[in-house]
Chains A and B, each alone.
Chain A
Amino acid sequence: MYKIIEKENLAPGIKRIRVEAPLIARKTHPGNFIILRIGEFDERIPLTVADYDRDKGTITLIFQEVGYTTERLGSLEAGDYIQDLVGPLGKRLDLEGCKKVICIGGGSGTALLYPIVKAFHEKGAEILTITGARNKELVILEKELRTVSDKLFITTDDGSYGRHGFVTDILADLLITHSDIDLVVAIGPVPMMKAVSRITPANIKTIVSLNALMVDGTGMCGGCRVTVGGETKFTCVDGPAFDGHQVDFDEIMNRQSYYQEEEKHICRLGREVNS
């Protein structure tokens, strides 16, 4: 059992929890994720380790409530327990040798970007961060990102905060004004990562973090398979970060939608039960 130590609402539908998980806290690195199962009846879902405290033995998870399991997780409070939590899974990101990077977060993807920006910052890289949200209310981690980025750009779809538009608008400008970018990292909705990978030229390495559907997270089921560079890869062991120029994004969007009907079904049930 894994105890929730702390809980906080970051924005409507976006929550942060800190969980006691000493073994995982000890070993986790930017890029890693965990899989949790709240209780006996629940699904196993993957969440990125957004932050960790090796001394206190805790990890931080930030999640957006998009369906039954994430809503149920959001209904837990400090002091509650999560039954199963396994990790750190996936490959850690290789952050070596980058002097100047652009880090892009879309929606709740911004939360997953934060540990990466922080790690680059600790390594002394120059970081231009772009975060996009639908509206002002949904802009998250602004203060945190500002402390670890050299520049922070904010966009909102409706123009209620920062620049009116998409993260890719700013990216396009930055690519023109900065000729010395080593790496672009983009995490967010698949269409956003697809758009980013389209804009960045082939000689600028572009890393995206894929959120395939997962079951075990240990390479056993193949449910998380994606096509990268024409080859089948398992997101949970070969990823979740891949070269955006090689990823078949349309295939991922299609595969993510497979259980939509069932998900709506239990979501309705969940709301009936909860209300």
Chain B
Amino acid sequence: MALQKEKTPVKSQDPELRIKNFDEVCLGYNKSEAVQEAGRCLQCKDPACVKGCPVEVPIPDFIKAIIDDDLDRAAHIIKSKNNLPAICGRVCPQEEQCEKLCIMGKKYEPVAIGRLERFVGDYALKKAGVSDSRPAKIMKKKEKIAVVGSGPAGLTAAADLAKEGYQVTLFEALHAAGGVLRYGIPEFRLPENILDQEVSEIQKLGVEIKLNVVIGKTITIDELFAEGYSTVFIGTGAGLPKFLGLPGENLNGIYSANEFLTRVNLMKAYKFPEYKTPVRIGKKVAVIGGGNVAMDSARTAVRLGAEEVSIIYRRSKEELPARDEEIEHAEEEGVIFRLSNNPTAFHGENGRVKSIECVKMKLEGIDSSGRPVPVPVAGSNWSLEVDNVIIAIGQTPNPLLKYNTPGLKTNLNGGIIVDENLSASIPGVYAGGDIVTGAATVIKAMGAGKKAAQSIIKYLEEK
């Protein structure tokens, strides 16, 4: 068989149609497509791809299992390292991670590892739906462990600890589990039912999930220890939205991306008035920022009926931090990229935002992160008429727990300080995910959850 240089194409919803619904855009491989794509893998002896994966999924091995038509084995192999394959297969920035290092990618397109992982993940979920996938009886251990925050870091830590037989309680401030996977990433990228199923798989391992509990408020860390929890893992994420600090920013019609996406995803405002939480989007919408959060906001605004949605980003296209696939999807859906521009003020009428004043930017030199530095071009101010603005310039670690936990050391950005074992400044307290690193990725948060679980197991065994 001739070498297939490109990835096996994956079907997706037609842009014309999908901008009118919230259904998933990428439809995923069917079995024959998956087998075809799996056949492209060279089964490298020293697989570079694995080094690109923060949790070191044994990629060639699970791909081999697809070729062998043994999907149970494929699922088992992935799950040895990654509890949430259906989610990572969908949202991992593969082009920066596993696929970036894939040997095939040196000359041709890399193997579509993410799509294959999603295929296996979906298979595993479907199977779990019909058969009882409860794992073989685990020897129950007596230690109770508290996990705070049900994002990917918390879910992973909880699952790994439950698999070892510990009694795990997962506390979540909101009324539904999943963290950003629930309130941030939209339905058309990560359907809620996938998340629901992954969460229920984790419950089947014996993890008890307590919703509507804010640790630091409802129960403090000290009280958790007093109630007999042996250790605490903190995975409270980077939920605090940044604002620009510009004049007019509190006008009506200006949302943080978190508020906008939470209204739409967690509260299902896209089904208003069946669901009672409103979200108001006019004809012209500007999204400030260039990451995944900005793309999700822009594409959500398109689906809510906005006619002109612009992304305003201060650097050029090369520097857009969003995943390539998200940028492409946004372009296909008609989002306008107004690059090398930065807002300087918001102007309003009757208390509502009416226009954004912007200045053009040029790139000069390189900053400490290796990115070119945008500087304003004098006298290039212009103005864009808008009905709504969504500010998506980043989130910083959630401060609520820090405020209410004396002795918990944090850095200047508000991130919890941990050592190489993810142990925080209070004995028996571990932390990982965005609350430590600042806003990062799902798989990195999961990697941290895994690592913390190992440290906790070691700590408890040595105690």
A89 at the interface (CB under 8 A from B): yes
In the assembled complex, the Cα of A251 lies from the Cα of B247 at a distance in Å of 13
Q: Which residue of B lies closest to A232 (CB)?
A: B243
Measured between beta carbons, the chain B residues less than 8 angstroms from A218 are 173-174, 214, 239, 398, 400
Measured between beta carbons, the chain B residues less than 8 angstroms from A263 are 278
Q: In the assembled complex, how far is the CB of residue A34 from the closest CB belonging to chain B, in whole angstroms?
A: 9
* Interface positions of B (Cβ within 8 A of A): 173-175, 183, 211-214, 217-219, 239-241, 243, 245, 249-253, 255-256, 258-259, 262-263, 267, 272-278, 280, 351, 398-400, 403
Q: In the assembled complex, how far is the CB of residue A131 from the closest CB belonging to chain B, in whole angstroms?
A: 30
Determine whether the beta carbon of B277 is less than 8 Å from that of A43.
Answer: yes
In the assembled complex, the Cα of A68 lies from the Cα of B274 at a distance in Å of 13
21 A-B residue pairs with Cβ-Cβ distance under 8 Å, sorted by A, are: A23-B213, A69-B276, A83-B175, A84-B212, A86-B175, A88-B217, A88-B218, A216-B183, A219-B240, A219-B399, A220-B240, A221-B241, A222-B243, A222-B256, A223-B256, A223-B259, A232-B245, A237-B400, A262-B272, A262-B273, A266-B272
In the assembled complex, the Cα of A155 lies from the Cα of B258 at a distance in Å of 42
Determine whether the beta carbon of B217 is less than 8 Å from that of A89.
Answer: yes
Determine whether the beta carbon of A219 is less than 8 Å from that of B400.
Answer: yes
In the complex, the number of residue pairs spanning A and B with C-beta atoms less than 8 Å apart equals: 116
Determine whether the beta carbon of A222 is less than 8 Å from that of B273.
Answer: no
Known: A88-B218, A89-B214, A215-B262. A221 touches B400 (CB 8 A): no
Determine whether the beta carbon of A262 is less than 8 Å from that of B258.
Answer: no
- CB within 8 Å of B: which A79-114 residues: 83-89
Measured between beta carbons, the chain A residues less than 8 angstroms from B250 are 225-227, 232, 251, 255
Measured between beta carbons, the chain B residues less than 8 angstroms from A232 are 243, 245, 249-250
Determine whether the beta carbon of B219 is less than 8 Å from that of A220.
Answer: no
In the assembled complex, the Cα of A140 lies from the Cα of B263 at a distance in Å of 34
In the assembled complex, the Cα of A227 lies from the Cα of B173 at a distance in Å of 26
In the assembled complex, the Cα of A156 lies from the Cα of B274 at a distance in Å of 39
Q: Which of A43, A223, A226 contacts B255 (CB 8 A)?
A: A223
Q: In the assembled complex, how far is the CB of residue A17 from the closest CB belonging to chain B, in whole angstroms?
A: 17
A205 at the interface (CB under 8 A from B): no
In the assembled complex, the Cα of A255 lies from the Cα of B218 at a distance in Å of 29
Measured between beta carbons, the chain B residues less than 8 angstroms from A85 are 212
In the assembled complex, the Cα of A85 lies from the Cα of B219 at a distance in Å of 14
- CB within 8 Å of B: which A151-209 residues: none
In the assembled complex, the Cα of A222 lies from the Cα of B262 at a distance in Å of 11
Q: In the assembled complex, how far is the CB of residue B195 from the closest CB belonging to chain A, in whole angstroms?
A: 16
Measured between beta carbons, the chain A residues less than 8 angstroms from B239 are 218-220
- Most chain B C-beta atoms within 10 Å of own C-beta, residue among A42, A222, A263: A222
Q: Which residue of B lies closest to A259 (CB)?
A: B278
A271 at the interface (CB under 8 A from B): no
Measured between beta carbons, the chain B residues less than 8 angstroms from A84 are 175, 211-212
* Interface positions of A (Cβ within 8 A of B): 23-24, 27, 37, 41-44, 68-69, 83-89, 215-216, 218-223, 225-227, 232, 237, 251, 254-255, 257-259, 261-263, 265-266, 269
Specify the main secondary structure of chain A where it touches its partner.
mixed
Closest 3 CB pairs of A and B: A262-B278, A221-B259, A254-B351
In the assembled complex, the Cα of A257 lies from the Cα of B255 at a distance in Å of 15
Q: In the assembled complex, how far is the CB of residue A241 from the closest CB belonging to chain B, in whole angstroms?
A: 15
Q: Which residue of B lies closest to A225 (CB)?
A: B250
Determine whether the beta carbon of B218 is less than 8 Å from that of A24.
Answer: yes
Q: Which residue of A lies closest to B218 (CB)?
A: A23
Determine whether the beta carbon of A254 is less than 8 Å from that of B252.
Answer: yes
Measured between beta carbons, the chain B residues less than 8 angstroms from A265 are 273
In the assembled complex, the Cα of A69 lies from the Cα of B275 at a distance in Å of 11
Known: A86-B175, A251-B250, A258-B252. A222 touches B241 (CB 8 A): yes
Q: In the assembled complex, how far is the CB of residue B260 from the closest CB belonging to chain A, in whole angstroms?
A: 9
Known: A27-B218, A215-B262. A86 touches B274 (CB 8 A): no
Determine whether the beta carbon of A87 is less than 8 Å from that of B217.
Answer: yes
Determine whether the beta carbon of A37 is less than 8 Å from that of B175.
Answer: yes
Q: In the assembled complex, how far is the CB of residue B190 from the closest CB belonging to chain A, in whole angstroms?
A: 18
Measured between beta carbons, the chain B residues less than 8 angstroms from A88 are 217-218
Measured between beta carbons, the chain A residues less than 8 angstroms from B214 are 86-87, 89, 218
Q: Which residue of B lies closest to A250 (CB)?
A: B351
In the assembled complex, the Cα of A89 lies from the Cα of B276 at a distance in Å of 22
Measured between beta carbons, the chain A residues less than 8 angstroms from B243 are 222, 225, 232
Q: In the assembled complex, how far is the CB of residue A211 from the closest CB belonging to chain B, in whole angstroms?
A: 16
Measured between beta carbons, the chain A residues less than 8 angstroms from B403 are 237
In the assembled complex, the Cα of A67 lies from the Cα of B314 at a distance in Å of 42
In the assembled complex, the Cα of A220 lies from the Cα of B265 at a distance in Å of 14
